[in-house]
Structure 1
């Protein structure tokens, strides 16, 4: 049977702060190698016969998802935008309804976009073995063969082996255990880590969801009955989805169904839920160190250093994590990295921007880097992709100066439309309708100097926009 991958690309990834931020979480980062975690998830499907994937993500991440698919030169079957997060059971239901609406009943391979799998052949082999089970109506979950005692994962207890000899009946789903209990699980050989990956028919999943959680089924059915397509994006009925209960697939279906089967998978899997977990799955030097970026280290062992912007040096350290970005630095004992979530919560409570986004912010037309700011001014370096255009807009509280560094800018400034090239500039007064476009074949780089009484991103009134960001339209 044909497989349709369902890639769940939501989540905030706050435990990998400061590299992971609310508006650019870990699934979009290149933490191992050159591909982002989302792109690696797409790439590892190459030995599985499958249709283009259906992706589920937050509204605010839609352009990042689309751009990363474009970069990987991979088609998708649609990007479903969740107006609010409602956990995995509703998210998978949305994808199942979409798959069925296209006239087939495929096997859905449910994957998280932020997992690491080191042995991709073993992953594909397990999925391909499970196709027969899922095709016969079983709901397959993939259990990771434990390599150590781990208290950060849920566990699956296997029951009797099925007639096919491929998978086991699920005897029990177990929450994250204490160390002693986890040690018993691993030593028994009867337990697997709960990977959160599944394979089942779209119709079978929806039938079981309707049986055990008709409230979730009905809310998702209504949400998908009124969709609006915009590029590759599928916008669902917001009101219907907001009424849907927040529930995981484990609680809603897998713990209740009589058709749950676990297929073992031994593939070097990790959900990379912390900096220490990332250190564990990364390639290390002879001293057990992992370095990314510009790092010089003397007499240091078992440390993880990620330098995004500056040279980082270490002397005499052991079991430490250091992560440097343009606007924040994290230094932590390896054993204390789970407390990063507390730092993120404190930043949020203090209304600081560092939990929300990086100094460098990605937009569908390109990106900008806030390189300096002070009382009544802000300086940004703006990059506009070839052929891209920012929205036609105006500001109530700020004026802007634009200086072209490289490339060509087509500028709408009130009633005038002008072309600017390297070292040329223009001034946009407060309240004037304006737009910026790159008509050339190379990226446009410019410096923007904002001045005024209020410089927030919410002081933008859009009149036209290629990317569907005009309110009320």
Structure 2
């Protein structure tokens, strides 16, 4: 049996301001309205039997967003989730997934490890490559997908391939991201492939190779797995034991050391969407090489990319620019410096600026909230609650709240009172009062919240009850 394992963790800092810590790259919507994770779920379902399940390894904070994307993908497969308390790189994630698959399906089961934030355009060729990788995995190889390069790319690692073995080639070595001269040498050699970070192997094989080449990872992951409850389809990884696992990639831990690695040459329209240049290249250029995602006007402009789903952007007399517009942050960059966008994120994080982490619209398990305006001692939000969803029973020390229902019906707990608030009605929540908001209807509940007080930070919250397990 083949079990797809989707790794959904990377922050995607080079795609700021759209990708942020609270809304990372896998959840970014492309021009067709689908996220990269959505596409990954659909892709995984096409290469598995109906009895198989799709396993997602992701951060606890992204669980509900991942479930939403899975539901939107409408795949006819069972699903399971391994929830990390914090990121520890790909080796621990894959090792824990292997323990899960071995426990549920046995050590002979095959794992297809996919990244949640890659784009693959040619599904038929992808399925052919997976079939080749499955054949190698069944023979005891650790199969990795090597992308046939079409340019001397310096942003990817490379795999040097040797003689043919079965449906692939023997992997001779993994090399780090090269400089341009070395990348050109690799292209001319003809036996180097981009390292895609996607794999296929027998569960028992990867666990054995992990124990052989990275025993510190193998032992600490085994202890972590032993400390976990194994019932249900959503398993939370304990923070204490997981913190003891080394932070290391699967390449460093196993793939570069094992003698059983095979590479499947693949040419299926792959992109890791690693920068805004990669996003730009997904759009069709006009006669002056200008591209846009959204509504834009280009006057006397050349080789300019505008990403603006929310409002009109016009450029006049500019060349070689990328303009990325969001409601609360604007990025203007030269394409040659696309990799340096991560430096902006690092500086924002150092300054404690919320723009590195959150958008104005923030997704929660129950729906979304959007910050409309804020100033000294006040903040105004638009809150949307899904049918049947409920916020936690909570209390704030430093702020009071006024709620005005715009559409739908709200059930409100305010202190000792439990009552309904209809459209065009409002209620007031004093500071220090236990309160809860629920949508008992079948339509979305939309309301405006006006906060006032001496401190309005999102961390001023005490939760007493929460149906989503948040503390």
- Shorter chain as denominator, the TM-score bin is over 0.9
Q: After superposition, what is the alpha-carbon deviation per residue over 1:314-339, rounded to whole angstroms, capped at 9, x for unaligned?
A: 12222211111010001111111211
In the TM superposition, residue 228 of structure 1 has moved relative to its aligned partner by 4.1
Whole-Å Cα distance in 1 between the matches of residues 179 and 292 of structure 2?
32
**Aligned twin of 1:298:** 299
Q: After superposition, what is the alpha-carbon deviation per residue over 1:62-82, rounded to whole angstroms, capped at 9, x for unaligned?
A: 111111112222345311111
Is residue 150 from structure 1 mapped to residue 153 from structure 2 by the alignment?
Answer: yes
Q: Does the C-alpha gap of structure 1 residues 76 and 285 become closer, same or farther in structure 2, counting only changes over 3 Å? A: farther
Range 26-35 or range 404-413, more displaced: 26-35
**Aligned twin of 1:31:** 30
8 Å CA contact retained: 2:283, 2:293: no
**Aligned twin of 1:92:** 94
**Aligned twin of 2:14:** 15
In the TM superposition, residue 55 of structure 1 has moved relative to its aligned partner by 0.6
Range 309-318 or range 166-175, more displaced: 309-318
Q: After superposition, what is the alpha-carbon deviation per residue over 1:94-118, rounded to whole angstroms, capped at 9, x for unaligned?
A: 1000001113332111111111111
8 Å CA contact retained: 1:223, 1:238: no
Q: Does the C-alpha gap of structure 1 residues 282 and 256 become closer, same or farther in structure 2, counting only changes over 3 Å? A: same
Whole-Å Cα distance in 1 between the matches of residues 428 and 413 of structure 2?
11
In the TM superposition, residue 348 of structure 1 has moved relative to its aligned partner by 1.0
**Aligned twin of 1:131:** 134
Q: Secondary structure at the match of 1:140?
A: strand
Q: Does the C-alpha gap of structure 1 residues 467 and 228 become closer, same or farther in structure 2, counting only changes over 3 Å? A: farther
**Aligned twin of 1:410:** 411
8 Å CA contact retained: 2:366, 2:389: yes
Q: State the number of aligned residues.
A: 467
Which structure 1 residue ranges, 5 or more long, are not aligned?
none
Whole-Å Cα distance in 2 between the matches of residues 203 and 230 of structure 1?
21
8 Å CA contact retained: 1:270, 1:281: no
Q: After superposition, what is the alpha-carbon deviation per residue over 1:257-307, rounded to whole angstroms, capped at 9, x for unaligned?
A: 111000100011111111012222333334333211222222323222111
Whole-Å Cα distance in 2 between the matches of residues 214 and 259 of structure 1?
17
In the TM superposition, residue 392 of structure 1 has moved relative to its aligned partner by 0.6
Is residue 313 from structure 1 mapped to residue 314 from structure 2 by the alignment?
Answer: yes
Q: After the TM superposition, which residues 241-280 of structure 1 pair with which residues of structure 2 at under 5 Å, given as runs?
A: 241-280=242-281
In the TM superposition, residue 91 of structure 1 has moved relative to its aligned partner by 0.6
8 Å CA contact retained: 1:404, 1:447: yes
Q: After superposition, what is the alpha-carbon deviation per residue over 1:375-430, rounded to whole angstroms, capped at 9, x for unaligned?
A: 11111000000000000111111110000000000111111111111110000111
Which structure 2 residue ranges, 5 or more long, are not aligned?
none
**TM-score where L is the length of structure 2:** 0.96
Whole-Å Cα distance in 2 between the matches of residues 230 and 397 of structure 1?
40
In the TM superposition, residue 230 of structure 1 has moved relative to its aligned partner by 9.1
CA RMSD of aligned residues (A): 1.4
Q: Does the C-alpha gap of structure 1 residues 442 and 145 become closer, same or farther in structure 2, counting only changes over 3 Å? A: same
Whole-Å Cα distance in 1 between the matches of residues 230 and 296 of structure 2?
46
8 Å CA contact retained: 2:380, 2:450: yes
8 Å CA contact retained: 2:4, 2:53: yes
Q: After the TM superposition, which residues 48-197 of structure 1 pair with which residues of structure 2 at under 5 Å, given as runs?
A: 48-50=47-49, 51-74=52-75, 75-104=77-106, 105-162=108-165, 164=166, 166-197=167-198
Q: Secondary structure at the match of 1:11?
A: coil
**Aligned twin of 1:423:** 424
Q: After superposition, what is the alpha-carbon deviation per residue over 1:224-276, rounded to whole angstroms, capped at 9, x for unaligned?
A: 12224797431122222111111111111111111100010001111111101
Range 345-354 or range 25-34, more displaced: 25-34
In the TM superposition, residue 222 of structure 1 has moved relative to its aligned partner by 1.4
Whole-Å Cα distance in 1 between the matches of residues 320 and 232 of structure 2?
47
Q: Does the C-alpha gap of structure 1 residues 381 and 231 become closer, same or farther in structure 2, counting only changes over 3 Å? A: farther
Q: After superposition, what is the alpha-carbon deviation per residue over 1:184-232, rounded to whole angstroms, capped at 9, x for unaligned?
A: 1001111000000100011100000001111101111111122247974
Whole-Å Cα distance in 2 between the matches of residues 349 and 127 of structure 1?
42
Whole-Å Cα distance in 2 between the matches of residues 190 and 32 of structure 1?
34
Q: Secondary structure at the match of 1:35?
A: coil
**Aligned twin of 1:211:** 212
8 Å CA contact retained: 1:323, 1:330: yes
Whole-Å Cα distance in 1 between the matches of residues 143 and 132 of structure 2?
11
Whole-Å Cα distance in 1 between the matches of residues 283 and 256 of structure 2?
33
Q: Does the C-alpha gap of structure 1 residues 231 and 106 become closer, same or farther in structure 2, counting only changes over 3 Å? A: closer
8 Å CA contact retained: 2:31, 2:293: no
Q: Secondary structure at the match of 2:281?
A: helix
